[in-house]
């Protein structure tokens, strides 16, 4: 017990571990909320309050009454849409149909009709409310149908058992059929109510935290099983009285405990983030009340489900820890360990994703670590597996498999540890390489500082791998589509027009504009015509407004094009929304900047801190080029990494955007867009370049700040942490700030602001670099000793 | 060529720990042995001489010029081997030496020659392409020595260069250092007195940051000429001697014990024989005070 506590303390007292844990928790929450916030048309997000109010309103009614009430409401929305069609369409037949329908509604459903009329006059957008009601109504419908579904199971079993296929009482199919029926019979009479389980679904679908936890388990295995072995401490440990079985068991137990805790913390934080966004779920309702859990045979309420979810997630993570521990026990070689663990994770992931449910190999999909850790599907689907022609529920299988993995791997690891020599043998591959080198390599190298420094940064500190991954990531990022969400109806209309109009001005296009003008005029004349009811008038006014807004935007742009033409500048029609976003989008700008600064925060400090970590700073600084020149070399490497990261962070988006909208007007003036009307004449591409240049200088500023922090703190992790606080967190907080960003500079004369931005960045960057350089080359290190004594 | 160290004061932790106390010494070509117990301030002194650390007051002059002013020019004639053994574990020795040559601003051709010959000197040619991480303690130590000699330094500062070396390598290195020391200022700190006893021109004794004594080996040992004895005693008396005298050596002969002691007042009633003092005796005399 005491040993176990020591082992746990060993892991927890690692600063690296705690930092990584905290950072990944933050990242996990950030990604979860970011993906949720970015879901367009998510009424659950914007109407949290009215959604819960509606739920409590309808759940207090009987199912039939609630259904009826919602039906009435939905009818009103339907009538509303007819109003809209009738008022705005050009198509005579459609208009007639709608008119007829409306008359009918007025006669049969005067109440709903009146309501629709009221809504149409208000001119608001009701699609969210409608979606909400539809969802509730779906749930009500499902609740009514559920008893039939359960009863049907029994009947079906009876019926099917008579079929030929199910003749053999010992066959899996036969057993499965009756087991299924039995399991569902237990659910008869389950009370169903409406409610919401947004958090359950959100957290259930979210996979990132699983991957993070798996990575952290791997890290913990390194601390528990590799560290001492690598330092040759196992000989010492194993020679003590409790150094064998007790030690390895306590290591395994601590891995288990830590895994469990980490997993629970991550799941809880997921629920917490989701609850912050969506409010609380309805806790005391049976889980079968939701269509997603129709096939679930577990008799739980939502609240109990939470608990079961957290526990089963943690247990599935235990399986990972068991497998990892096994590999860490078997292999002494680091490379083999990585390959084995990576192989099993990758292999299982591939099996899980690529085997289809009806394949004969489907057991590989289901008896799979990733299926076990997909707790939501595990708990919400009903599945019996064929185990020696017995029908066994997947939950039992999962449970038994996990126990099996844990028992087998711990015993193997324990036996290996107790019996086998744990001394570190030299890696065979290394030996071969060494003897090869001894034969063929001459004493040779380069006397250029930069080659030694880059070796240190890229190869010794493994940042080559980091940047390679970054490059691969950004290449992948170049593909795919950009989504543009339209903020209003007129935006949408505008987009349709622009799809035709975009490009150079032609007479055809001018005619098109005229046509649209006429259409609006026609609508306006309809207004004067008093044959319409008030509701209709509302709808027509609305449409006129939207249409003319869109057209106005186009005509304004046409005016600007003409103006430019007078100055002898060729311009063309461009979609103001798309191109506007392309050149200036606060959200994207902040996101890319946050991403970039994260890369820099992770990579830059080690350029300047590795000397302190290796205790060689004194050795280096006493040489001829060990001060200024060394410093400049380090700055060069840092700048190179900064530029590389900059490209990886900013360019993929641009390529993706161009691919999506196939922007053909990039070389035409930006100034046809209203937002940039008053600015200096510059082509869209030119603006992009200018913007990128100013971002680059901002990136360099970030680089210099991180460098400064690294030189002052002399410790990799502390400087990462500090720069996160100083740079990254403010960036995320400012995320939505529209005033504080480079894109603004085009709205007025851009040369001045641009010059100002660049000079400020340059001055600050030079300042930070000089200060850092002073510190690096200076001899005022009173803490020289301490930094390398306590440095890790 | 001379290196003057003038009135150096250095304290750590805001003055609570005095590492060097008004330390003054002038070095000319030849080997200097820096002796002192743990924490005496030897490494601190070396860090100041190599311009890795600022003194609180005082200055270091090379041929009359402040080393801070000389800067790069000073560092290019400096060779330093620090005490700690942290190295770049992923560097091969070859790469490490090339990297150090780059830091020392050597030309490629010179570097190649120098590295090849130094690898031979420290007997590491075979391991030139092994990673430093896989080196034994003594091998790392030798790699550090090689590195210090790359630029043919005029001033060579070695902080415990022989720690962790086996006798063979120790002798080898010692001889090599005395060989090259003719026209160089070499400052060696060590706890192993025999390392410098014969090669050092002068010995500097340092205690709690203060310069105790600075003289040639011979004249230092002369100071305790009549204070070193060998006494033959019974086993029962050993404890008494250990408690009351500085015992520099013990040897058994049949049922008797011969203890070598350094003392101002020789013990009576025993069979005493005066012997020739060594540096080790001096060390004991100076640093194990009060007996
Ligand atoms: N960075 C530091 N912070 C605080 N005190 C320090 C620092 N560096 C050295 N000291 C203190 O200064 C004194 C002299 O230390 P120094 O390392 O110079 O001794 P040394 O003679 O080299 O010892 P050793 O023989 O063990 O190498 C010691 O008391 C030490 O504790
Ligand atoms: Mg020392």
Residue-wise pLDDT tens digits, B159-215: 988 888 888 888 888 888 888 888 899 999 988 888 888 888 899 999 888 998 888
- CB–CB contact B102 A785 (8 Å): no
User: Residue A146, class by beta-carbon neighbours within 10 Å (0-12 exposed, 13-18 middle, 19+ buried)?
Assistant: middle
Listed in sequence order, the DSSP H helices in chain B are 42-49, 67-70, 72-75, 93-103, 108-121, 137-149, 167-180, 193-197, 217-222, 238-244, 279-287
- Whether A786 shows a pLDDT value over 60: the answer reads no
* Distance in angstroms (rounded) separating the CA atoms of residues A84 and A266: 48
Contact A717, A777 (CB under 8 A): no
Query: Which residues of B fall within a CB distance of 8 Å from A452?
Result: 95, 98-99, 102-103
Bridge pairing between strands B155-159 and B185-189: parallel
Q: HSE, CB side, 13 Å, CA atoms: give it for residue A720.
A: 17
Q: B79 CB less than 6 Å from ligand 1?
A: no
Contact criterion met (CB below 8 Å) for A268 and A209: no
Tokens of A23: 């950072």
Mean pLDDT (whole number) for A705-729: 83
Residue of A649, A641, A636, A634 lying closest to A603 (CA atoms): A641
Q: Is the CB of B33 under 6 A from ligand 1?
A: no
Residue A645 — pLDDT band, cuts 50, 70, 90?
very high
pLDDT, one tens digit per residue, over A111-141 is 788 877 777 777 667 777 888 888 888 888 8
CB A119 within 8 A of CB A126: yes
pLDDT for A30 equals: 84
User: Residue range B240-248: average pLDDT?
Assistant: 83
B117, closest residue in chain A (CA to CA): A443
What's the ipTM?
0.82
Residue A602's H or E segment, with its range, is: helix A586-613
Tally: H helices and E strands in chain B:
11, 14
pLDDT digits (tens, 9 = 90+) for A355-406: 887 777 778 888 888 888 888 988 888 888 888 878 888 889 999 999 999 9
Neighbouring-strand partners of residue B78: B155
Q: Per-residue confidence at A458, pLDDT binned at 50, 70, 90?
A: confident
Which pLDDT value is given to residue A477? 80
Average pLDDT of the segment spanning A658-669: 78
| Cα of B75 to nearest chain A Cα, Å | 5
Answer whether B139 touches A (CB < 8 Å): no
DSSP A377-394: HHHHS--EEEETTEEEEH
pLDDT digits (tens, 9 = 90+) for A302-321: 999 999 999 999 999 999 99
Which pLDDT score, from 0 to 100, does residue A618 have? 82
Higher pLDDT, B254 or B149: B149
The mean pLDDT value for A748-764 works out to 80
Burial class (CB in 10 A: 0-12, 13-18, 19+), A421: exposed
- Cβ contact A456–B116 (<8 Å): no
Dihedral pair phi/psi, residue A387, rounded to 5°: -110, 105
Q: Which ligand is nearest to the CA of B40?
A: 1
Pick from A700, A701, A731, A591: which is nearest to A649 by CA? A591
Instruction: Please tell me the predicted confidence (pLDDT) of residue A73.
Output: 82
Chain A residues lying within 8 Å of B102, measured CB to CB: 446-449, 451-452, 625
- Domain B3-221: give its CATH superfamily: P-loop containing nucleotide triphosphate hydrolases (3.40.50.300)
Is the CB of B112 inside 8 Å of chain A's CB atoms?
A: yes
User: Is B95 an 8 Å CB contact of chain A?
Assistant: yes
Lowest-pLDDT range of A289-293, A423-427, B206-210, B264-268: A423-427
CB pairs under 8 A between A and B: 138
Contacts of A444 in chain B (CB under 8 A): 94, 98, 112
A331, HSE (Cβ side, Cα atoms, 13 Å)? 17
Instruction: State yes or no: pLDDT of B156 exceeds 70.
Output: yes
Alpha-carbon separation of residue A484 from A137, A263, A580, A583, A692 (angstroms): 30, 36, 11, 14, 22
Is pLDDT larger for residue A409 or for residue A10?
A: A409
Question: Closest Cα partner for B70 from B55, B56, B49?
Answer: B49
In tens, the pLDDT along B4-47 reads 999 999 988 777 888 899 999 999 999 999 998 888 899 899 98
Q: Are the Cβ atoms of A616 and B87 closer than 8 angstroms?
A: yes
Q: What is the pLDDT of residue A325?
A: 93
Please tell me if the CB atom of residue B137 comes closer than 6 angstroms to any atom of ligand 1: no
Domain ranges (residues) in chain B: 3-221, 226-275
The span from the CA of A317 to the CA of A213, in Å, is 8
Give pLDDT tens digits for A213-252: 988 898 888 888 877 776 667 767 777 777 788 888 999 9
Residue A743: predicted pLDDT: 54
What residue's CA is closest to ligand 1, atom 4?
B12
Mean pLDDT estimate for chain A: 82
**DSSP sequence for A754-792:** HHHHHHHHHHHHHHHHHHHHHHHHSS--TTHHHHHHH--
Q: Does pLDDT of A410 surpass 90?
A: yes
All residues of chain B having their beta carbon less than 8 Å from the beta carbon of residue A629 are: 105
Task: Please tell me the predicted confidence (pLDDT) of residue B146.
Answer: 92
Beta-bridged to residue B211, according to DSSP, are B206
Q: How many CB atoms lie within 10 A of CB B98?
A: 27
């Amino acid at each position: 017990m005491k040993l176990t506590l020591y082992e746990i303390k060993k892991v927890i007292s690692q600063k690296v571990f705690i930092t990584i844990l905290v950072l990944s928790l933050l990242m996990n929450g950030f990604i979860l909320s970011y993906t949720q916030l970015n879901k367009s048309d998510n009424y659950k997000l914007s109407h949290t309050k009215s959604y819960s109010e509606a739920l409590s309103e309808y759940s207090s009614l009987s199912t039939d009454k609630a259904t009826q009430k919602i039906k009435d409401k939905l009818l009103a929305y339907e009538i509303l849409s007819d109003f809209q069609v009738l008022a705005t369409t050009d198509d005579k037949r459609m208009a007639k149909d709608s008119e007829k329908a409306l008359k009918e509604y007025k006669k049969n459903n005067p109440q709903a009709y009146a309501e629709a009329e009221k809504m149409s006059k208000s001119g608001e957008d009701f699609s969210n409310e409608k979606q909400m009601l539809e969802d509730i109504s779906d749930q009500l419908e499902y609740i009514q149908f559920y008893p039939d579904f359960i009863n049907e199971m029994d009947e079906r079993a009876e019926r099917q058992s008579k079929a030929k296929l199910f003749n053999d009482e010992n066959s899996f199919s036969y057993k499965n059929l009756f087991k299924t029926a039995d399991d569902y019979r237990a659910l008869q009479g389950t009370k169903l109510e409406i409610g919401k389980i947004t958090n359950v679904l959100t957290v259930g679908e979210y996979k990132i935290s699983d991957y993070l936890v798996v990575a952290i388990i791997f890290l913990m295995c390194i601390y528990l099983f590799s560290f001492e072995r690598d330092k040759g401490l196992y000989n010492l440990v194993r020679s003590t009285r409790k150094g064998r079985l007790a030690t390895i068991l306590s290591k395994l137990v601590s891995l288990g405990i830590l895994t469990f805790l980490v997993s629970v913390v991550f799941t809880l934080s997921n629920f917490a983030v989701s609850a912050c966004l969506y409010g609380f779920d309805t806790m005391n309702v049976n889980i079968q009340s939701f269509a997603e859990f129709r096939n679930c045979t577990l008799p739980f309420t939502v609240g109990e489900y939470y608990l079961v979810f957290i526990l089963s997630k943690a247990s599935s993570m235990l399986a990972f820890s068991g497998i990892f521990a096994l590999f860490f026990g078997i292999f002494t070689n680091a490379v083999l360990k990585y390959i084995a663990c990576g192989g099993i994770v990758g292999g299982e992931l591939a099996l899980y994703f690529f085997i289809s449910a009806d394949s004969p190999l489907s057991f590989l999909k289901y008896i799979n670590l990733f299926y076990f850790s997909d707790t939501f599907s595990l708990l919400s689907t009903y599945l019996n597996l064929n185990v020696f022609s017995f029908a066994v529920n997947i939950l039992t299988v999962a449970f038994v498999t996990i126990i099996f993995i844990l028992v087998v791997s711990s015993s193997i690891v324990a036996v290996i540890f107790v019996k086998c020599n744990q001394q570190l043998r030299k890696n065979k591959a290394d030996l071969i390489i060494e003897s090869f080198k001894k034969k063929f390599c001459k004493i040779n190298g380069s006397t250029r500082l930069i080659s030694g420094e880059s070796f240190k940064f890229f190869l010794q500190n493994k940042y080559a791998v980091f940047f390679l991954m970054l490059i691969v990531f950004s290449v992948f990022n170049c593909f795919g589509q950009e989504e543009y969400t339209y903020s209003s109806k007129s935006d949408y209309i505008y987009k349709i027009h622009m799809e035709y109009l975009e490009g150079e001005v032609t007479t055809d296009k001018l005619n098109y504009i005229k046509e649209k003008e006429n259409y609006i005029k026609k609508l306006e004349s309809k207004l004067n015509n008093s044959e319409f009811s008030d509701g209709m008038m509302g709808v027509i006014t609305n449409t006129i407004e939207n249409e003319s807004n869109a057209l106005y935007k186009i005509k304004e742009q046409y005016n600007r094009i003409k103006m430019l033409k007078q100055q002898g500048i060729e311009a063309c029609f461009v979609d103001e929304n798309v191109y506007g976003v392309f050149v200036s989008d606060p959200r994207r700008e902040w996101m890319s900047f946050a991403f970039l600064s994260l890369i820099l925060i992770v990579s830059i400090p080690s350029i300047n801190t590795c000397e302190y970590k290796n205790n060689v700073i004194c050795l280096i600084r006493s040489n001829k080029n060990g001060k200024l020149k060394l410093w400049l070399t380090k700055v060069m490497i840092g700048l190179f990494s900064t530029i590389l990261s900059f490209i990886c962070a900013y360019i993929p988006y641009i390529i993706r955007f161009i691919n999506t909208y196939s922007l053909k007007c990039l070389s035409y003036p930006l100034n046809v867009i209203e937002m940039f009307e008053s600015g200096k004449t510059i082509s869209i591409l030119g603006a992009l370049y200018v913007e990128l240049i100013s971002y680059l200088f901002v990136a360099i500023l970030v680089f210099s700040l991180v460098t400064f922090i690294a030189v002052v703190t002399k410790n990799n992790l502390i400087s990462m942490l500090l720069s996160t606080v100083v740079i990254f967190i403010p960036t995320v907080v400012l995320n939505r700030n529209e005033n504080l960003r480079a894109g603004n500079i085009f709205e007025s004369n851009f040369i001045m602001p641009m010059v100002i931005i660049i000079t400020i960045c340059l001055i600050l960057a030079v300042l930070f670099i000089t200060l850092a350089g002073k510190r690096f080359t200076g001899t005022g290190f009173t803490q020289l000793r301490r930094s390398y004594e306590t440095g890790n | 060529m001379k290196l003057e160290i003038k009135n150096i004061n250095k304290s750590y932790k805001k003055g609570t720990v005095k590492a060097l106390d008004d330390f003054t010494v002038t070095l000319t070509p030849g080997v200097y042995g820096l002796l002192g117990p743990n924490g005496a301030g030897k490494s601190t002194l070396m860090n100041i001489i190599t311009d890795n650390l600022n003194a609180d007051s005082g200055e270091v002059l090379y041929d009359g010029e402040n080393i801070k002013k000389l800067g790069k020019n000073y560092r290019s004639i400096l060779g330093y081997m620090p005490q700690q053994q942290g190295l770049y574990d992923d560097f091969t020795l070859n790469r490490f030496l090339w990297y150090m040559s780059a830091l020392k601003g050597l030309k490629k051709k010179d570097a190649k020659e120098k590295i090849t010959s130094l690898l031979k000197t420290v007997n590491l040619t075979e391991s030139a392409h092994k990673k430093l991480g896989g080196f034994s303690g003594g091998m790392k130590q030798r790699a550090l020595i090689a590195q210090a000699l790359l630029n043919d330094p005029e001033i060579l500062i070695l902080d415990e260069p022989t720690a962790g070396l086996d006798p063979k390598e120790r002798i080898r290195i010692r001889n090599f250092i005395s060989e090259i020391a003719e026209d160089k200022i070499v400052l060696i700190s060590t706890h192993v007195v025999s390392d410098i006893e014969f090669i050092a021109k002068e010995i500097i004794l340092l205690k709690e940051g203060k310069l105790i004594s600075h003289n040639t080996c011979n004249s230092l040992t002369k100071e305790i000429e009549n204070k070193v004895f060998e006494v033959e005693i019974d086993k029962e008396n050993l404890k008494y001697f250990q408690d009351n005298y500085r015992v520099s050596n013990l040897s058994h002969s049949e049922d008797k014990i011969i203890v070598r002691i350094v003392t101002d007042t020789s013990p009576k009633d025993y069979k005493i024989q005066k012997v020739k003092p060594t540096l080790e005796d001096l060390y004991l005399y100076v640093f194990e005070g009060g007996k």
